[in-house]
A and B are shown apart, each in its own frame.
Chain A
Amino acid sequence: MDELALNILDIAYNSVRAQSTLILISIIDSEKKNMIEICIEDNGCGMDTDMVKKVTDPFYTTRTTRQVGLGIPLFKENAELTGGKFYISSKINHGTKVKATFIKDHIDTPILGDIVETMITLIQSNENIDYIFEYKNDDIDFMMKTSEMKDILGDVKINEPEVLLWIKDYMKEGLPK
């Protein structure tokens, strides 16, 4: 995966599958600190400590059709390759938190990529999940809560194509080019 936004999508799908109703995605992208920090936190079904150990192992997966699950190991390796760190914590019935830091100017740090596309894809996947998305760099702090949008939309689904197009433009306006 050549952009961090794709890692984020892949990790957040784990939260979707964990029956979360709220997923927080935050990105801190700081030149000053020379660091990118990505955090994905959910209120889903969570995992016990044994399972947490296993999911960082590339030869572990919950699926039964294939033996290898790569999402979390890939993200972990990406972070550690740059001298960054990877954390995961989880509690049964409470949720899971995954955090990774990257040294921004390290040659192996992937570009952040198209985070707008990632968020649109996630919102599209299931209208019942709420997202809180935050992006901060040294100049701006952009925050978006899908629950606020749903309050206005009423019985119109947030994943109607017309709504998704609007969210896309809204995010593009709020985020740096």
Chain B
Amino acid sequence: MKSLEDLKKIREEAQNRMTMRLDDEQKYRVVVGMATCGIAAGARPVLNTIVEEVAKEKLPVTVLQTGCIGLYTLEPIVEVFDKEGNKTTYVLVDVEKAKEIVRRHLIQGEVIEDYTVGKYKK
């Protein structure tokens, strides 16, 4: 059985990690569109998959939510910003693609062209 006391341990672990890693050392910022259109299209499991994978792999990545990104037909949308501010916009993301984005982009640093908005607009 889990109890709130477990959080003490999580707190200690997180504090240890934070002394090693400051916020400005975050390598990527990931933004998921979570307006009505995104939610209806399946953004919630996409967001939670990314949060979960980032936690499991202990990646230096910040995951944020935003409102409507403005391309309803292409939701769920995931934007990845690197430290230089370069943005990659992934569209029609599902749980499987989200896992792949974590593995290939956030871990290996590769932009997955096939899932980007550029691919769909052509």
Contacts and interface: CB of A to CB of B under 8 A. Distances in A.
Q: Specify whether A and B are partners.
A: yes
B4 A148 contact: yes
Interface in A131-177: 148-149, 152-156, 160-166, 169-170, 173
Contacts of A117: 44-45, 48
Nearest to A6: B39
Contacts of A162: 10, 13-14, 55
Q: How large is the interface on B (under 10, 10 to 19, 20 to 34, 35 or more residues)?
A: 20 to 34
Contact of B51 (A65, A124, A173): A124
Contacts of B56: 165
A148 B7 CA distance: 10
Given A9-B44, A149-B7, A165 B55 contact: yes
A118 interface: yes
Contacts of A70: 36
Contacts of B34: 13, 121, 125
A163 B48 contact: no
Given A13-B34, A66-B68, A161-B51, A118 B7 contact: no
A111 interface: no
Contact of B11 (A10, A69, A156): A156
B39 A9 contact: yes
Nearest to A150: B7
Given A1-B40, A6-B39, A121-B48, A153 B7 contact: yes
A47 interface: no
B65 A156 contact: no
A148 B45 CA distance: 26
Interface in A89-140: 114, 117-118, 120-121, 124-125
22 contacts: A9-B39, A10-B36, A63-B68, A66-B68, A69-B36, A70-B36, A71-B36, A117-B45, A121-B65, A149-B4, A149-B7, A152-B8, A153-B7, A156-B11, A161-B63, A162-B55, A164-B55, A165-B51, A165-B52, A165-B55, A166-B6, A170-B2
Given A10-B39, A124-B51, A125-B65, 17 more contacts: A1-B40, A9-B39, A63-B67, A66-B68, A117-B44, A118-B44, A121-B44, A124-B63, A152-B4, A152-B8, A152-B11, A160-B14, A162-B13, A163-B14, A165-B56, A170-B6, A173-B2
Interface of A: 1, 6, 9-10, 13, 63, 65-66, 69-71, 74, 114, 117-118, 120-121, 124-125, 148-149, 152-156, 160-166, 169-170, 173
